[in-house]
Amino acid sequence: MKFLRNQLDKIEPKVKDNKFLHTIYDGFATFLFSPNHVTHGKGVHIRDGLDLKRTMVTVVMAMQLCLLFGMFNIGHQHFAAYGMYTGGFTDGLFTKFMYGLLQMLPIIIVAHVVGLGIEFYFAAKKGHAIEEGFLVSGMLIPLIMPPDVPLWMVALATAFAVIIGKEAFGGTGMNILNIALLARMFVFIAYPTEISGDACWVSYDYNILHQLFGMGSLTAGNAAQVVDTFSGATPLALAAKGGWSNVLSQYSVSDMLWGNMGGSIGEMCKPAVILGAIILVVTGIASWQIMVSMIIGALVMGAILNGVAPSSDSFLAVPFTHHLLMGSFFFAMAFMATDPVTAAQTTMGKFIYGFMIGVIGIIVRVLNPAYPEGWMLAILFMNVFAPTIDHYVYQANIKRRLARNHG
């Protein structure tokens, strides 16, 4: 490592006068080594090796189980649609994973090339170091997309989110909306059929794996090959049409817990998401207050809707505890709502912020017939109100302290 450090130090003077090359050099060097920078002036200074890059890398590492399961599940759902490898999760394990990897890799590459390319450009233009925030957004964007999303759409959504949602506000740490959710919102509004409905959650595309295994005839256009008994309907779509009993007609609680169904790539396996959430809490990166209050808010609102449900086959009658298993609740809680830039900053504000996301998310999920999921809209909505929540928390603290002092 010392040799590598010395080589990097020799390169720096050669690129220092070129803004673009020095930006690339700085991004690479500070990714490998924590910068040895301290504040100027006299006094005591504490240097922490866990800088922003290493914090972002920790978040990315916490997502890896979600990513690995997402790759496998893409292949599992794909082959299930064609009636292949029906012996269970482990049947054709390697083939399923390799199919998912080849399907997922281009999405990851496109998101990173477009997002980082834009960040490199703005960093070079401003003469600043590369901002590390996209390390997380670049992984989240592929994980919250359906597996068959067109690559040009990923590129367009990523560019929109980074330029309009981030750079227009001043870069990393200045954005008011979650960048990954903004990319998903762009696709949802501009191309709704590509991110909603039953069919988009299962990839019918064939890739090089089909050719390697002699399966080149399985193409998206040959729909007759898809077995008649297969349905790509998600639990939320089933619940919206016939309540909890309709969900259980196709999926078990175990299926929803472990992710044996179609859906956004990274959200499906709840134990993998929860483990990632624990890592973020233990490392002090994510707020447990937001996570706990979001769970409470969702359960409270779900219980209220249970109490006013007109019939047992209504979406309102879905048991309030089971709302946590359906859809992307845990993924949104762990990796979206806890974004330290766009979330509330005060302790009480975090409780209010998380609770309101849980409440609004359930309301949108159940009462909005056009969109049977609510966490994207709820989090973006509360992103806007997070500064207001913190303001009133500060004001309440000031008034309480003034009253105590005058008393």
Decide if 297 contacts 324 (C-beta within 8 A). no
| Residues 264, 164 share a domain | no
Tell me, what's the pLDDT at 337? 94
pLDDT of 319 > 90? The answer is: yes
Task: Write out the two tokens for 265.
Answer: 């790539």
Which residues contact residue 294 at a Cβ distance below 8 angstroms, ignoring those fewer than 6 apart?
A: 333, 337, 354, 355, 357, 358, 361
Phi, psi of 33 (to 5 degrees): -130, 140
| Residues 247, 365 share a domain | yes
| Residues 255, 174 share a domain | no
| Residues 75, 207 share a domain | yes
Q: For the chain, give percent helix, strand, coil, nearest 5.
A: 65, 0, 35
The answer to the question of residue 47 being in a domain is no
What percent of the chain shows pLDDT beyond 90? 43
Q: What is the mean pLDDT of the chain?
A: 82
Query: Can you give the residue range of the structural domain that contains 314?
Result: 231-407
Helix/strand/coil for 217: coil
Of 74, 201, 56, 262, give the one whose Cα is nearest residue 140.
56
| Residues 109, 248 share a domain | no
pLDDT of 306 > 70? The answer is: yes
Q: Which amino acid is at 59?
A: V
| Residues 264, 308 share a domain | yes
223, 243, 265 - which closes a domain: 223
> What is the number of other CB atoms lying within 10 angstroms of the CB of residue 34?
14
The answer to the question of residue 251 being in a domain is yes
Decide if 8 contacts 22 (C-beta within 8 A). no
The answer to the question of residue 42 being in a domain is no
Which residues contact residue 71 at a Cβ distance below 8 angstroms, ignoring those fewer than 6 apart?
A: 97, 100, 101, 103, 104, 265
Tell me, what's the pLDDT at 222? 46
Tell me, what's the pLDDT at 368? 83
Q: How far is Cα 301 from Cα 364, in angstroms, rounded to an integer?
A: 11
pLDDT tens, residue by residue, 40-88: 555 545 544 455 666 778 888 999 999 999 999 988 888 887 778 878 7
pLDDT tens, residue by residue, 145-171: 888 889 999 999 999 999 999 888 877
338 versus 45: the higher-pLDDT residue is: 338
Domain count, the chain: 3
Mean pLDDT, rounded, for 111-136: 79
Decide if 320 contacts 263 (C-beta within 8 A). no
| Residues 247, 322 share a domain | yes
Band of residue 216 on the pLDDT scale cut at 50, 70, 90: very low
Helix/strand/coil for 275: helix
Tell me, what's the pLDDT at 38? 56
The answer to the question of residue 276 being in a domain is yes
